[in-house]
Structure 1
Amino acid sequence: MTENEPVPEQRSLAAEEPPQDPPDAAQAAVWRNGLTAVTALLAAVLVLRGPAELASVHWSVRVLSAALLLAGFALLVRAVLLAIAAASAPAGQPVSALTPVRRLAVVGLAVLGATVLLGWLAPAAPTPAKLIQLTYDHGIICGLVSLEPDGYVTVLPDPGQAPNRITAKARTLVPVAAVHGMTEVGVCEPPATLPTPAP
Protein backbone atom coordinates (compact mmCIF):
# COMPACT_ATOMS: atom_id res chain seq x y z
CA MET A 1 0.00 0.00 0.00
CA THR A 2 1.45 3.33 -1.05
CA GLU A 3 1.43 6.46 1.02
CA ASN A 4 -1.04 8.20 -1.32
CA GLU A 5 -3.75 5.52 -1.04
CA PRO A 6 -6.61 6.46 1.31
CA VAL A 7 -7.14 4.31 4.34
CA PRO A 8 -10.69 2.77 4.19
CA GLU A 9 -11.18 3.01 7.93
CA GLN A 10 -10.63 6.78 7.87
CA ARG A 11 -13.37 7.65 5.38
CA SER A 12 -15.92 10.17 6.60
CA LEU A 13 -19.26 8.87 7.80
CA ALA A 14 -20.90 11.95 6.31
CA ALA A 15 -20.10 10.68 2.81
CA GLU A 16 -21.80 7.37 3.53
CA GLU A 17 -24.99 8.94 4.99
CA PRO A 18 -26.15 11.79 2.78
CA PRO A 19 -28.62 14.18 4.41
CA GLN A 20 -32.30 13.59 3.74
CA ASP A 21 -33.66 15.61 0.86
CA PRO A 22 -36.11 18.38 1.84
CA PRO A 23 -39.65 18.29 0.42
CA ASP A 24 -39.64 18.96 -3.30
CA ALA A 25 -40.90 22.32 -4.55
CA ALA A 26 -43.29 20.53 -6.89
CA GLN A 27 -44.95 18.83 -3.94
CA ALA A 28 -45.26 22.18 -2.19
CA ALA A 29 -46.84 23.62 -5.34
CA VAL A 30 -49.40 20.80 -5.36
CA TRP A 31 -50.31 21.56 -1.75
CA ARG A 32 -50.49 25.28 -2.53
CA ASN A 33 -52.83 24.77 -5.49
CA GLY A 34 -55.00 22.22 -3.71
CA LEU A 35 -55.43 24.23 -0.51
CA THR A 36 -56.12 27.42 -2.46
CA ALA A 37 -58.85 25.68 -4.46
CA VAL A 38 -60.43 24.09 -1.37
CA THR A 39 -60.39 27.34 0.60
CA ALA A 40 -61.88 29.31 -2.30
CA LEU A 41 -64.58 26.67 -2.83
CA LEU A 42 -65.58 26.64 0.84
CA ALA A 43 -65.65 30.44 0.96
CA ALA A 44 -67.84 30.56 -2.16
CA VAL A 45 -70.26 28.01 -0.68
CA LEU A 46 -70.42 30.03 2.54
CA VAL A 47 -71.16 33.25 0.65
CA LEU A 48 -73.80 31.63 -1.57
CA ARG A 49 -75.61 29.82 1.24
CA GLY A 50 -75.38 32.79 3.55
CA PRO A 51 -76.60 32.74 7.15
CA ALA A 52 -79.89 31.09 6.20
CA GLU A 53 -78.60 27.66 7.22
CA LEU A 54 -78.24 28.80 10.85
CA ALA A 55 -81.23 31.11 10.98
CA SER A 56 -83.41 28.55 12.74
CA VAL A 57 -81.01 27.70 15.58
CA HIS A 58 -80.42 29.42 18.92
CA TRP A 59 -78.34 32.60 18.88
CA SER A 60 -75.61 31.00 21.01
CA VAL A 61 -75.16 28.29 18.37
CA ARG A 62 -74.92 30.96 15.67
CA VAL A 63 -72.20 32.80 17.62
CA LEU A 64 -70.23 29.58 18.21
CA SER A 65 -70.59 28.59 14.55
CA ALA A 66 -69.30 31.98 13.41
CA ALA A 67 -66.27 31.68 15.69
CA LEU A 68 -65.52 28.17 14.41
CA LEU A 69 -65.85 29.31 10.80
CA LEU A 70 -63.39 32.15 11.37
CA ALA A 71 -60.93 29.80 13.10
CA GLY A 72 -61.21 27.17 10.35
CA PHE A 73 -60.67 29.65 7.53
CA ALA A 74 -57.77 31.28 9.41
CA LEU A 75 -56.05 27.89 9.68
CA LEU A 76 -56.60 27.15 5.99
CA VAL A 77 -55.31 30.57 4.92
CA ARG A 78 -52.23 30.09 7.10
CA ALA A 79 -51.64 26.69 5.49
CA VAL A 80 -51.97 28.22 2.02
CA LEU A 81 -49.43 30.94 2.87
CA LEU A 82 -46.93 28.38 4.16
CA ALA A 83 -47.40 26.27 1.03
CA ILE A 84 -46.85 29.33 -1.17
CA ALA A 85 -43.63 30.14 0.69
CA ALA A 86 -42.42 26.55 0.30
CA ALA A 87 -43.28 26.40 -3.40
CA SER A 88 -41.61 29.72 -4.20
CA ALA A 89 -38.28 28.92 -2.52
CA PRO A 90 -35.36 29.74 -4.88
CA ALA A 91 -33.81 26.84 -6.79
CA GLY A 92 -30.96 25.18 -4.96
CA GLN A 93 -32.17 26.26 -1.55
CA PRO A 94 -33.93 23.88 0.82
CA VAL A 95 -37.72 24.02 0.77
CA SER A 96 -39.53 24.49 4.06
CA ALA A 97 -41.00 21.31 5.53
CA LEU A 98 -44.59 20.61 4.54
CA THR A 99 -45.50 19.08 7.91
CA PRO A 100 -46.96 22.36 9.31
CA VAL A 101 -48.95 22.81 6.10
CA ARG A 102 -50.48 19.36 6.41
CA ARG A 103 -51.29 19.85 10.09
CA LEU A 104 -52.90 23.25 9.57
CA ALA A 105 -54.92 21.96 6.63
CA VAL A 106 -56.21 18.93 8.54
CA VAL A 107 -57.10 20.96 11.63
CA GLY A 108 -58.75 23.70 9.56
CA LEU A 109 -60.89 21.22 7.63
CA ALA A 110 -61.78 19.43 10.87
CA VAL A 111 -62.93 22.71 12.44
CA LEU A 112 -65.08 23.51 9.40
CA GLY A 113 -66.52 20.00 9.48
CA ALA A 114 -67.37 20.40 13.16
CA THR A 115 -69.14 23.66 12.32
CA VAL A 116 -71.29 21.91 9.71
CA LEU A 117 -72.18 19.13 12.17
CA LEU A 118 -73.03 21.72 14.80
CA GLY A 119 -75.43 23.40 12.40
CA TRP A 120 -77.05 20.07 11.56
CA LEU A 121 -77.38 18.73 15.09
CA ALA A 122 -78.18 21.90 17.04
CA PRO A 123 -81.76 22.12 18.30
CA ALA A 124 -83.97 24.64 16.60
CA ALA A 125 -84.70 27.90 18.34
CA PRO A 126 -88.17 28.15 19.86
CA THR A 127 -90.67 29.62 17.42
CA PRO A 128 -92.04 32.91 18.71
CA ALA A 129 -95.75 32.94 19.43
CA LYS A 130 -97.90 34.66 16.84
CA LEU A 131 -99.83 37.75 17.80
CA ILE A 132 -103.45 37.86 16.69
CA GLN A 133 -105.62 40.93 16.35
CA LEU A 134 -109.16 39.75 17.01
CA THR A 135 -112.26 41.71 16.05
CA TYR A 136 -115.39 40.80 17.99
CA ASP A 137 -118.70 42.25 19.14
CA HIS A 138 -117.14 44.60 21.70
CA GLY A 139 -114.25 45.92 19.61
CA ILE A 140 -110.69 44.74 18.97
CA ILE A 141 -108.31 42.90 21.24
CA CYS A 142 -104.77 41.84 20.46
CA GLY A 143 -102.53 39.23 22.05
CA LEU A 144 -101.59 35.56 22.06
CA VAL A 145 -104.52 33.42 21.01
CA SER A 146 -105.55 29.92 22.04
CA LEU A 147 -108.63 27.99 20.92
CA GLU A 148 -109.32 26.54 24.35
CA PRO A 149 -111.70 25.94 26.01
CA ASP A 150 -114.20 24.71 23.42
CA GLY A 151 -116.53 27.40 22.15
CA TYR A 152 -114.18 30.24 23.14
CA VAL A 153 -111.13 32.02 21.84
CA THR A 154 -108.68 32.78 24.67
CA VAL A 155 -106.61 35.93 24.26
CA LEU A 156 -103.52 36.15 26.50
CA PRO A 157 -101.41 39.27 27.13
CA ASP A 158 -97.94 39.41 25.59
CA PRO A 159 -95.42 41.02 28.01
CA GLY A 160 -93.39 42.33 25.08
CA GLN A 161 -96.19 44.51 23.76
CA ALA A 162 -96.68 48.13 24.73
CA PRO A 163 -100.00 48.72 26.54
CA ASN A 164 -102.61 50.47 24.42
CA ARG A 165 -106.34 50.37 23.72
CA ILE A 166 -106.36 46.94 22.07
CA THR A 167 -103.56 45.10 23.89
CA ALA A 168 -104.90 42.35 26.11
CA LYS A 169 -104.43 43.34 29.77
CA ALA A 170 -105.40 39.94 31.17
CA ARG A 171 -106.64 36.54 30.05
CA THR A 172 -109.79 37.20 28.06
CA LEU A 173 -112.37 34.64 26.87
CA VAL A 174 -114.25 35.59 23.71
CA PRO A 175 -117.15 33.40 22.53
CA VAL A 176 -116.53 32.04 19.05
CA ALA A 177 -119.97 33.28 17.98
CA ALA A 178 -118.93 36.87 18.83
CA VAL A 179 -115.74 36.79 16.72
CA HIS A 180 -115.87 38.70 13.40
CA GLY A 181 -112.29 38.14 12.27
CA MET A 182 -108.73 37.37 13.28
CA THR A 183 -105.57 38.84 11.72
CA GLU A 184 -101.97 37.87 12.44
CA VAL A 185 -99.87 40.93 13.29
CA GLY A 186 -96.29 41.62 14.26
CA VAL A 187 -97.09 44.29 16.86
CA CYS A 188 -100.29 45.05 18.74
CA GLU A 189 -101.15 48.50 17.44
CA PRO A 190 -104.64 49.99 17.33
CA PRO A 191 -105.91 50.62 13.81
CA ALA A 192 -106.66 54.13 12.60
CA THR A 193 -110.35 53.63 13.23
CA LEU A 194 -111.85 51.29 15.80
CA PRO A 195 -115.09 49.49 14.99
CA THR A 196 -118.17 50.62 16.83
CA PRO A 197 -118.97 48.14 19.59
CA ALA A 198 -122.23 46.29 19.33
CA PRO A 199 -124.96 47.51 21.66
Structure 2
Amino acid sequence: MSVELAAPDGPTDPAPSPESLRTQAAAWRNGLTAVTALLAAALIVRGPDDLAELHWTVRLLAGALLLAGFALLVRAILLAATATATAPASHDVASVPRLAVTGLGLVGIAVLGAWLAPAAPAPGKLIQLTYDHGIICGLVSLEPEGYVTVLPDPGQQANRITAKARTLVPISSIHGMTEVGVCEPPATLPTPAP
Protein backbone atom coordinates (compact mmCIF):
# COMPACT_ATOMS: atom_id res chain seq x y z
CA MET A 1 0.00 0.00 0.00
CA SER A 2 1.48 3.38 -0.93
CA VAL A 3 0.61 6.79 0.37
CA GLU A 4 0.36 9.65 -2.06
CA LEU A 5 0.99 13.14 -0.87
CA ALA A 6 -1.22 15.83 -2.21
CA ALA A 7 0.40 18.80 -3.91
CA PRO A 8 -0.12 22.16 -2.20
CA ASP A 9 -3.20 24.05 -3.34
CA GLY A 10 -1.41 27.29 -4.19
CA PRO A 11 2.05 28.24 -5.24
CA THR A 12 4.75 28.32 -2.60
CA ASP A 13 5.99 31.68 -1.35
CA PRO A 14 7.40 33.48 -4.33
CA ALA A 15 10.82 35.04 -3.96
CA PRO A 16 10.53 38.69 -3.01
CA SER A 17 11.28 41.12 -5.77
CA PRO A 18 14.53 43.11 -5.64
CA GLU A 19 12.51 46.30 -5.27
CA SER A 20 10.64 45.01 -2.17
CA LEU A 21 13.97 43.84 -0.70
CA ARG A 22 15.43 47.32 -1.28
CA THR A 23 12.42 48.90 0.42
CA GLN A 24 12.78 46.57 3.44
CA ALA A 25 16.51 47.23 3.62
CA ALA A 26 15.98 51.00 3.44
CA ALA A 27 13.42 50.83 6.26
CA TRP A 28 15.78 48.78 8.43
CA ARG A 29 18.69 51.10 7.63
CA ASN A 30 16.76 54.23 8.57
CA GLY A 31 15.24 52.73 11.73
CA LEU A 32 18.48 51.20 12.99
CA THR A 33 20.45 54.36 12.27
CA ALA A 34 17.98 56.37 14.36
CA VAL A 35 17.91 53.85 17.23
CA THR A 36 21.70 53.44 17.30
CA ALA A 37 22.27 57.20 17.24
CA LEU A 38 19.73 57.68 20.04
CA LEU A 39 21.33 54.96 22.20
CA ALA A 40 24.83 56.30 21.57
CA ALA A 41 23.76 59.85 22.40
CA ALA A 42 22.03 58.70 25.60
CA LEU A 43 25.11 56.78 26.73
CA ILE A 44 27.42 59.68 25.91
CA VAL A 45 25.24 62.22 27.72
CA ARG A 46 24.87 59.97 30.76
CA GLY A 47 28.60 59.30 30.76
CA PRO A 48 30.47 56.64 32.70
CA ASP A 49 29.40 58.03 36.10
CA ASP A 50 26.71 55.37 36.48
CA LEU A 51 29.32 52.65 36.11
CA ALA A 52 31.95 54.33 38.30
CA GLU A 53 30.55 52.91 41.54
CA LEU A 54 30.44 49.33 40.22
CA HIS A 55 33.08 46.68 40.73
CA TRP A 56 35.71 46.71 37.97
CA THR A 57 34.62 43.29 36.64
CA VAL A 58 31.04 44.51 36.18
CA ARG A 59 32.33 47.66 34.43
CA LEU A 60 34.49 45.53 32.13
CA LEU A 61 31.63 43.15 31.31
CA ALA A 62 29.18 46.02 30.68
CA GLY A 63 31.72 47.73 28.43
CA ALA A 64 32.32 44.55 26.44
CA LEU A 65 28.57 43.96 26.03
CA LEU A 66 28.03 47.56 24.91
CA LEU A 67 30.89 47.33 22.43
CA ALA A 68 29.61 44.03 20.99
CA GLY A 69 26.04 45.32 20.84
CA PHE A 70 26.99 48.51 19.02
CA ALA A 71 29.25 46.53 16.65
CA LEU A 72 26.31 44.30 15.72
CA LEU A 73 24.05 47.32 15.24
CA VAL A 74 26.60 49.02 12.97
CA ARG A 75 27.04 45.75 11.03
CA ALA A 76 23.26 45.55 10.56
CA ILE A 77 23.13 49.18 9.37
CA LEU A 78 25.96 48.61 6.89
CA LEU A 79 24.36 45.43 5.60
CA ALA A 80 21.05 47.22 5.13
CA ALA A 81 22.77 50.16 3.41
CA THR A 82 24.58 47.80 1.05
CA ALA A 83 21.32 45.98 0.29
CA THR A 84 19.66 49.32 -0.45
CA ALA A 85 22.38 50.39 -2.87
CA THR A 86 22.85 47.11 -4.75
CA ALA A 87 20.72 44.21 -5.94
CA PRO A 88 20.10 42.62 -2.55
CA ALA A 89 19.89 38.92 -1.85
CA SER A 90 16.99 37.90 0.38
CA HIS A 91 19.32 36.22 2.92
CA ASP A 92 21.25 39.50 3.34
CA VAL A 93 18.10 41.44 4.14
CA ALA A 94 16.83 38.61 6.38
CA SER A 95 20.01 38.72 8.49
CA VAL A 96 19.57 42.44 9.27
CA PRO A 97 16.75 41.89 11.84
CA ARG A 98 18.71 39.08 13.54
CA LEU A 99 21.80 41.28 13.89
CA ALA A 100 19.68 44.21 15.07
CA VAL A 101 17.79 42.22 17.70
CA THR A 102 21.00 40.61 18.98
CA GLY A 103 22.76 43.99 19.14
CA LEU A 104 19.86 45.67 20.93
CA GLY A 105 19.66 42.70 23.29
CA LEU A 106 23.34 43.01 24.21
CA VAL A 107 23.00 46.75 24.81
CA GLY A 108 19.89 46.11 26.92
CA ILE A 109 21.61 43.40 28.97
CA ALA A 110 24.59 45.71 29.59
CA VAL A 111 22.37 48.58 30.75
CA LEU A 112 20.10 46.37 32.85
CA GLY A 113 23.07 44.57 34.37
CA ALA A 114 24.70 47.89 35.29
CA TRP A 115 21.46 49.06 36.93
CA LEU A 116 21.00 45.88 38.95
CA ALA A 117 24.61 45.13 39.86
CA PRO A 118 25.55 45.92 43.45
CA ALA A 119 27.92 48.80 44.03
CA ALA A 120 31.52 48.01 44.85
CA PRO A 121 32.25 48.13 48.56
CA ALA A 122 33.27 51.60 49.61
CA PRO A 123 36.85 51.83 50.78
CA GLY A 124 37.28 52.40 54.50
CA LYS A 125 38.02 55.89 55.70
CA LEU A 126 41.33 56.55 57.36
CA ILE A 127 41.06 58.12 60.80
CA GLN A 128 43.85 59.71 62.77
CA LEU A 129 43.25 59.27 66.52
CA THR A 130 44.91 61.36 69.19
CA TYR A 131 44.79 59.56 72.55
CA ASP A 132 46.64 59.32 75.86
CA HIS A 133 49.56 57.34 74.38
CA GLY A 134 50.09 59.42 71.22
CA ILE A 135 48.66 59.32 67.71
CA ILE A 136 47.61 56.31 65.67
CA CYS A 137 46.15 56.21 62.17
CA GLY A 138 44.24 53.51 60.29
CA LEU A 139 40.82 52.10 59.50
CA VAL A 140 38.46 52.52 62.45
CA SER A 141 35.67 50.40 63.87
CA LEU A 142 33.57 51.08 66.99
CA GLU A 143 33.70 47.53 68.33
CA PRO A 144 33.96 46.08 70.93
CA GLU A 145 31.85 48.30 73.17
CA GLY A 146 33.85 50.95 74.98
CA TYR A 147 36.76 50.77 72.52
CA VAL A 148 37.73 52.02 69.09
CA THR A 149 39.49 49.39 66.99
CA VAL A 150 42.17 50.75 64.68
CA LEU A 151 43.13 48.40 61.84
CA PRO A 152 46.13 48.76 59.55
CA ASP A 153 45.44 49.80 55.95
CA PRO A 154 47.67 47.76 53.60
CA GLY A 155 47.67 50.65 51.10
CA GLN A 156 49.36 53.02 53.54
CA GLN A 157 53.08 53.54 53.81
CA ALA A 158 54.41 52.42 57.18
CA ASN A 159 55.46 55.26 59.49
CA ARG A 160 55.44 55.94 63.22
CA ILE A 161 51.68 56.65 63.46
CA THR A 162 50.35 54.02 61.04
CA ALA A 163 48.67 51.12 62.84
CA LYS A 164 50.93 48.08 62.55
CA ALA A 165 48.38 45.61 63.90
CA ARG A 166 44.83 45.60 65.26
CA THR A 167 44.88 48.11 68.12
CA LEU A 168 42.16 48.65 70.74
CA VAL A 169 41.96 52.20 72.09
CA PRO A 170 39.64 52.89 75.05
CA ILE A 171 37.10 55.58 74.15
CA SER A 172 37.83 57.39 77.44
CA SER A 173 41.46 57.96 76.40
CA ILE A 174 40.65 59.55 72.99
CA HIS A 175 41.27 63.30 72.68
CA GLY A 176 40.38 63.73 69.00
CA MET A 177 39.61 61.96 65.73
CA THR A 178 40.26 63.37 62.24
CA GLU A 179 39.47 61.82 58.88
CA VAL A 180 42.57 61.89 56.68
CA GLY A 181 43.44 60.87 53.14
CA VAL A 182 46.89 59.53 54.03
CA CYS A 183 48.35 58.48 57.36
CA GLU A 184 51.17 61.00 57.85
CA PRO A 185 52.66 62.10 61.14
CA PRO A 186 51.91 65.73 61.96
CA ALA A 187 54.87 68.12 61.95
CA THR A 188 54.57 68.74 65.71
CA LEU A 189 54.72 65.07 66.72
CA PRO A 190 57.75 64.49 68.94
CA THR A 191 60.08 61.73 67.89
CA PRO A 192 60.07 58.97 70.51
CA ALA A 193 63.36 58.04 72.14
CA PRO A 194 64.93 54.85 70.73
TM range (shorter): 0.7 to 0.9
Flag the 1:26–1:19 CA change in 2: closer, same or farther, 3 A. closer
Q: Residue deviations 1:5-50, cap 9 Å, x none?
A: xxxxxxxxxxxx9754133433322211111111111111111122
Across the aligned residues of Structure 1 and Structure 2, the Cα RMSD in angstroms comes to: 2.3
Of 176-185 and 33-42, more deviation after overlay is shown by 176-185
Aligned pairs for 1:176-187 within 5 A: 176-187=171-182
Could you tell me which residue of structure 2 aligns to residue 127 of structure 1?
A: 122
Residue deviations 1:52-86 (CA, integer Å, cap 9, x gap): 22222221111111111110000000111111112
Equivalent residue of 2:98, what SS? helix
- How far is 1:135 from its partner? 1.7
Alpha-carbon separation, structure 1, partners of 2:76 and 2:131: 66
Structure 1 residues 104-113 or 154-163, which shifts more? 154-163
- Which residue, 31, 49, 60 being the options, matches 1:63? 60
Q: Which residue of 2 aligns with 1:160?
A: 155
Unmatched 5+ stretches in structure 1 = 1-16
Match of 2:74 in 1: 77
Quote the Cα distance in structure 2 between the aligned partners of 1:163 and 1:84.
62
1:196 Cα offset (Å): 9.7
Tell me, yes or no, if structure 1 residue 146 matches structure 2 residue 146: no
Q: Larger Rg: 1 or 2? A: 1
- C-alpha distance in structure 2 between counterparts of 1:109 and 1:83, whole Å: 16
Shift of 1:132: 0.8
Structure 2 length-normalised TM: 0.81
Distance 1:19 1:33 in 2: 24
The alignment of Structure 1 onto Structure 2 pairs a total of residues equal to 177
Residue 34 of structure 2 is aligned to residue 41 of structure 1: no
In percent, how many aligned pairs have the same letter? Answer: 71
Structure 2 residue identity aligned to 1:116: V
